[in-house]
Amino acid sequence: MASVSLPAGAIPGSTQQTAPRLRVSDFLRWSVDHKVIGVQYMVTSFFFFLVGGTLAMMIRWELLTPELDVAVSGAQYNTLFTMHALVMIFLWIIPMLAGFGNYLIPLMLGAKDMAFPWLNAFAFWLIPPAGILMLISFFVSPPEAGWTMYPPLSVQYSGDGQTLAALGAHLLGISSILGAINFIVTILNMRPAGMSLWQMPLFCWSVLATSIIQVLATPFLAGALTLLLLDRMAGTTFFVPTGGGDPLLWQNIFWFYSHPAVYIMVLPAMGMLSEVLAVHARKPVFGYKLVALSSMGIGVVGFVVWAHHMFTSIQPQLRIPFMITSMIIAVPTGIKIFSWLGTIWGGKIRFTPAMLFALGFLSMFVIGGITGVTLAAIPFDVHVHDTYYVVAHFHFVLYGGSVFGIYAGIYHWWPKITGKEMNARLGHIHFWATYIGFLASFMPMHISGMLGMPRRVAVYLPEFQTLNTITSLGAFVLGLSTFIIIIAAVQSLLAGKKTTANPWRALTLEWATTSPPPATNFVNDPVVFPDPYGYGTPEAAAYVAMIEAQFDGKPSSERGIQTGGATPAPAPSVGD
Amino acid sequence: MTGLVDSKAIEQSLTREEQLALKNKRAGMAIFQISWILIFVVLIWANLGLRGQETTWPPPGVERYDVVLPIIASVLLILSGFTARSGLQAVRTGDLARFTPMWRATLVLGVIFVGIMAFEWVNTTATGNYGMLLRVMVAFHAVHALVIGAFLWNVHQNRARYNPVNFWSVEAAAQLWYFVVVAWLLFFVVLYII
């Protein structure tokens, strides 16, 4: 472990930022600062989280009883779950994780901004128009073919809203490709001296893997949507069987994008989990290289499993190969799970709200992962295909995984982003309400699914009522729990205590600057700590003490710090 | 014809930041090209998928396209890729007198290519999936050729700005034009050969 030296000019008090504080209006206009763009992504997508959540509440209200309650017809109910999925996937999870990436990647790499700041802003500003298109579509004959938009439903029966929603998804796809190009170039080219690929924080690894998936998979969505739009608007018949088209073609191309896309939705959250668990358990990440490589492994294998979404529609001889690949992809995922367990094993765990959500992620993702393996088994999948068991599975990985991860990330980086502390008591209440509400809503779905309750129906047999009522009540708790974090956020912004540069005593570079960071991220060139997860060593303690001395003016314990000496080795900051 | 200056030496004389910016732009362009070509691959997938439904291709009763004009168009397009490359090299070596004719040749060849394919598009009588795939794929490619051609035209109009130090716009335009050429060759093979 290299010794830690103070950079030249790192005298306490010399790094006071003089830049004016950002105002709310700064976030409403064009900006090329990756931190502003990151917040724009996060706030925009959180708004859509509330929209999608409202739709979820309507869905659960409808399913409270076996008869029609909210929707006037089954077709109207179809529009509810279609919009719910489109909004949650394309306008909440994916852009929210892109927001974290935007805010954190340059900071973690000690860079001043992304490789292409203008492109970054452009990628964000595609999202509001796309979101507006999606929302408008709900009010002009909404799409009712499900978020998977299977033809011929989506071509011959769904209304004009389907066209608008497809256009919106198209824009979001372009935004996602441009953002991913930016991430890959930034991560590969803009690391500081002293940080090899194998010394990057794991969040950078996961965003790198995600971005590679995005540039290779999203074009397939773009192509498929182009053909779908042509079918709808230009009279072509790519997917229309009556005109000689092939509906299965859509399913193949769509899932060739959308299965890798589920990793786009969870890999960055997994990266955040590695950060949060290591920092709050004060332990190095167990098996750093394997965790980094498993992200890449998931990225690669993710491209050859798509047909497991179509076990009931593809040629039977293709089922076994796809079953095998789908089971194989559990291996890199399992590596991550065991690495996280190894990380917290014997750690000095601090049960902060971030840590609670990270542990929640871990427990829920194990369940979601295991149900995933069961679904990869063809005999079982054929039995539960299109039932609530599938709905339970993907909510365990998407909510129990991604959303819990996002919550952990919000609690973890909130002090860095806002410069304010968040009320931990509210955070604890939020966690327990979410955890219990989540289990109550999605656990019973496994049972109702195995008993044979089909998904995407507004009216169901009375025998499923008990399970559905539990699910709905749990969902209402889950819906209300979202407001606790909003209250905690507002309270923190209005009356929160000012925080320090490094409240969690972390070793990654985003904490080696003021909270919130100045416009150029670092006033002096940041010093890279060679091992981003070397917690528990004297060097790590010295590094943290140095950051505290530098940014908060606290007397540092002098262990291991060389303040004198010849030229220290500051990491040259690149990417002006 | 050799250039007037050594482009490699000039590139190395740039500042660290300028070199990094150039490296970033080149990497970004390469990733963009890899990503975007996959949309063309989707159309090829659709083509192969739909022809898989038929016993013969073209389907019985549909006449195969005449391949003469498309071959001429393809040769001209490949040629335009080389003239674009030559124009880029001219800018990078400070040989601006060579840049303008090469770039104009690229534009003219590109316009002729789009013109021939537009003629084919209008006059094709093929129906069913066979005709639909031809129309959609040729038009999809032509949209790219036209948009990127407009970028080439923009570079041409601003040609006085470019020199061995400031050449990225020319390089980007040339790279995108190579993309148009490669994408067309993929489509040509799928539409006319196999």
**What is the nearest CA distance from A150 to chain B, expressed in angstroms?**
16
The pLDDT value given to residue A54: 96
Yes or no, beta carbons of B28 and A182 under 8 Å apart: yes
Residue pointed to by tokens 């070199």: B19
Beta bridge partners of A562: A5
- For the segment B110-118, the average pLDDT, to the nearest whole number, is 97
- Cβ contact A231:A239 at 8 Å: yes
- Cβ contact A358:A273 at 8 Å: yes
The pLDDT value given to residue B110: 97
Yes or no, beta carbons of A188 and B128 under 8 Å apart: no
3 state SS of A402 = helix
Yes or no, beta carbons of A574 and B136 under 8 Å apart: no
Closest chain B residue by Cα to residue A221: B39
User: Which residues neighbour A70 within 8 Å (Cβ) at sequence distance 6 or greater?
Assistant: A58, A61, A62, A77, A80
- For the segment B101-122, the average pLDDT, to the nearest whole number, is 96
Q: Which of B35, B41, B42 sits opposite A215 (nearest CB)?
A: B35
Yes or no, beta carbons of A189 and B50 under 8 Å apart: no
pLDDT of A565 over the 50 cut? no
Beta bridge partners of A420: A498
The pLDDT value given to residue A568: 38
Q: Among B29, B37, B45, which would you mutate to test the A interface (most chain A Cβ atoms within 10 Å of its Cβ)?
A: B45
- For the segment A292-303, the average pLDDT, to the nearest whole number, is 94
Q: What is the mean pLDDT of chain B?
A: 92
pLDDT of A6 over the 70 cut? no
- For the segment B159-174, the average pLDDT, to the nearest whole number, is 93
Taking alpha carbons only, the member of A344, A500, A349 closest to residue A420 is: A500
Closest chain A residue by Cα to residue B32: A181
**What percent of chain A lies above the pLDDT cut of 70?**
93
pLDDT of A558 over the 50 cut? no
pLDDT of A180 over the 90 cut? yes
Yes or no, beta carbons of B50 and A245 under 8 Å apart: yes
Yes or no, beta carbons of B20 and A189 under 8 Å apart: yes
What is the C-alpha to C-alpha distance for residues A315 and A381, in angstroms, rounded to an integer?
Answer: 15
Chain A / chain B CB contacts < 8 angstroms: 98
- Cβ contact A135:A167 at 8 Å: no
Beta bridge partners of A454: A387
Helices A34-62 and A94-108: crossing angle in degrees, nearest 10, is 150
Convert the pLDDT of each residue in A431-479 to its tens digit. Answer: 999 999 999 999 999 999 999 999 999 999 999 999 999 999 999 999 9
Residues of chain A contacting residue B34, judged by C-beta atoms under 8 Å apart:
215-216
3 state SS of A180 = helix
Convert the pLDDT of each residue in A92-109 to its tens digit. Answer: 999 999 999 999 999 999
Q: What is the mean pLDDT of chain A?
A: 90
Alpha-carbon dihedral sign for residues B73, B78, B80, B81: positive
What is the C-alpha to C-alpha distance for residues A147 and A128, in angstroms, rounded to an integer?
Answer: 19
Convert the pLDDT of each residue in A359-383 to its tens digit. Answer: 999 999 999 999 999 999 999 999 9
- In angstroms and rounded to an integer, the radius of gyration of the C-alpha atoms of chain B is 19
Question: Which of the residue ranges A179-193, B6-20, B113-127 would you say has the lowest mean pLDDT?
Answer: B6-20
3 state SS of A244 = coil
Residue A413, token pair as written in the block:
């980086």
User: Which residues neighbour A190 within 8 Å (Cβ) at sequence distance 6 or greater?
Assistant: A106, A109, A111, A115, A574, A575, B20, B24
- Cβ contact A109:A187 at 8 Å: yes
**What is the nearest CA distance from A212 to chain B, expressed in angstroms?**
9
Yes or no, beta carbons of B45 and A218 under 8 Å apart: no
What is the C-alpha to C-alpha distance for residues B169 and B166, in angstroms, rounded to an integer?
Answer: 8
Q: Which of B25, B31, B132 sits opposite A236 (nearest CB)?
A: B132
Yes or no, beta carbons of A189 and B27 under 8 Å apart: yes
User: Angle CA(A469)–CA(A472)–CA(A478) in degrees, nearest 5?
Assistant: 145
pLDDT of A5 over the 60 cut? no
Closest chain B residue by Cα to residue A574: B17
Yes or no, beta carbons of A574 and B20 under 8 Å apart: yes
Convert the pLDDT of each residue in A21-57 to its tens digit. Answer: 788 888 999 999 999 999 999 999 999 999 999 999 9
Yes or no, beta carbons of A246 and B35 under 8 Å apart: no
Domain that holds residue B109: 7-193
A114 touches chain B (CB under 8 A): no
- For the segment A496-524, the average pLDDT, to the nearest whole number, is 91
Q: Domain A26-562's class? A: mainly alpha
Yes or no, beta carbons of B42 and A253 under 8 Å apart: yes
Residues of chain B contacting residue A190, judged by C-beta atoms under 8 Å apart:
20, 24
A222 touches chain B (CB under 8 A): yes
Residues of chain B with a CB closer than 8 angstroms to some CB in chain A: 16-17, 20, 23-25, 27-28, 31-32, 34-43, 45-46, 49-50, 53, 128-129, 132, 136, 140
Yes or no, beta carbons of A116 and B28 under 8 Å apart: yes
What is the C-alpha to C-alpha distance for residues B101 and B84, in angstroms, rounded to an integer?
Answer: 10
Residues of chain A contacting residue B18, judged by C-beta atoms under 8 Å apart:
none
A184 touches chain B (CB under 8 A): yes
A253 touches chain B (CB under 8 A): yes
Residues of chain B contacting residue A177, judged by C-beta atoms under 8 Å apart:
32, 35
The pLDDT value given to residue B194: 84
Under the banding of pLDDT at 50, 70 and 90, the label for residue A192 is confident
In a domain, B1, yes or no: no
Closest chain A residue by Cα to residue B129: A244
The pLDDT value given to residue A187: 96
What is the C-alpha to C-alpha distance for residues B32 and B37, in angstroms, rounded to an integer?
Answer: 8
**What is the nearest CA distance from B1 to chain A, expressed in angstroms?**
35
The pLDDT value given to residue A24: 85
Under the banding of pLDDT at 50, 70 and 90, the label for residue A15 is very low
- Tally the domains of chain B: 1
Yes or no, beta carbons of A246 and B43 under 8 Å apart: no
A252 touches chain B (CB under 8 A): yes
For chain B, give the number of residues.
Answer: 194
The model's pTM is 0.92
**How far is residue B17 from each of residues A78, A175, B29, B38, measured CA to CA in Å?**
53, 27, 18, 32
* DSSP line for B106-132: HHHHHHHHHHHHHHHHHH----HHHHH
DSSP E strands: which ranges in A250-380? none
- Cβ contact A464:A389 at 8 Å: no
Residue pointed to by tokens 């679904």: A375
**How far is residue A23 from each of residues A488, A497, A518, measured CA to CA in Å?**
20, 18, 14
CB atoms within 10 A of CB A196: 9
3 state SS of A70 = coil
Question: Which of the residue ranges A8-12, A82-86, A375-379 would you say has the lowest mean pLDDT?
Answer: A8-12
Max CA-CA distance within chain B? 65
The upper half-sphere exposure of residue A76, i.e. CA atoms within 13 Å in the direction of its Cβ, equals 9
The pLDDT value given to residue B83: 97
A575 touches chain B (CB under 8 A): yes
The pLDDT value given to residue B55: 86
Yes or no, beta carbons of A245 and B129 under 8 Å apart: yes
Under the banding of pLDDT at 50, 70 and 90, the label for residue A13 is very low
The pLDDT value given to residue B2: 54
What is the C-alpha to C-alpha distance for residues A120 and A182, in angstroms, rounded to an integer?
Answer: 7
pLDDT of A9 over the 50 cut? no
Beta bridge partners of A561: A4
Convert the pLDDT of each residue in B31-68 to its tens digit. Answer: 999 999 999 999 999 999 999 888 888 888 888 888 89
**What is the nearest CA distance from A124 to chain B, expressed in angstroms?**
17
What is the C-alpha to C-alpha distance for residues B37 and B29, in angstroms, rounded to an integer?
Answer: 12
Higher per-residue confidence, A536 vs B111: B111
Closest chain A residue by Cα to residue B40: A223
Q: Among B16, B22, B26, B35, which would you mutate to test the A interface (most chain A Cβ atoms within 10 Å of its Cβ)?
A: B35
**What is the nearest CA distance from B102 to chain A, expressed in angstroms?**
30
**What is the nearest CA distance from B101 to chain A, expressed in angstroms?**
32
Beta bridge partners of A4: A561
The pLDDT value given to residue A310: 92
In a domain, B2, yes or no: no
Domain ranges of chain A: 26-562
What is the C-alpha to C-alpha distance for residues B157 and A143, in angstroms, rounded to an integer?
Answer: 45
Instruction: Convert A462-497 to b/e letters by CB count within 10 Å (16 or more is b).
Output: eebeebbebbbebbbbbbebbebbeebbeebeeebe
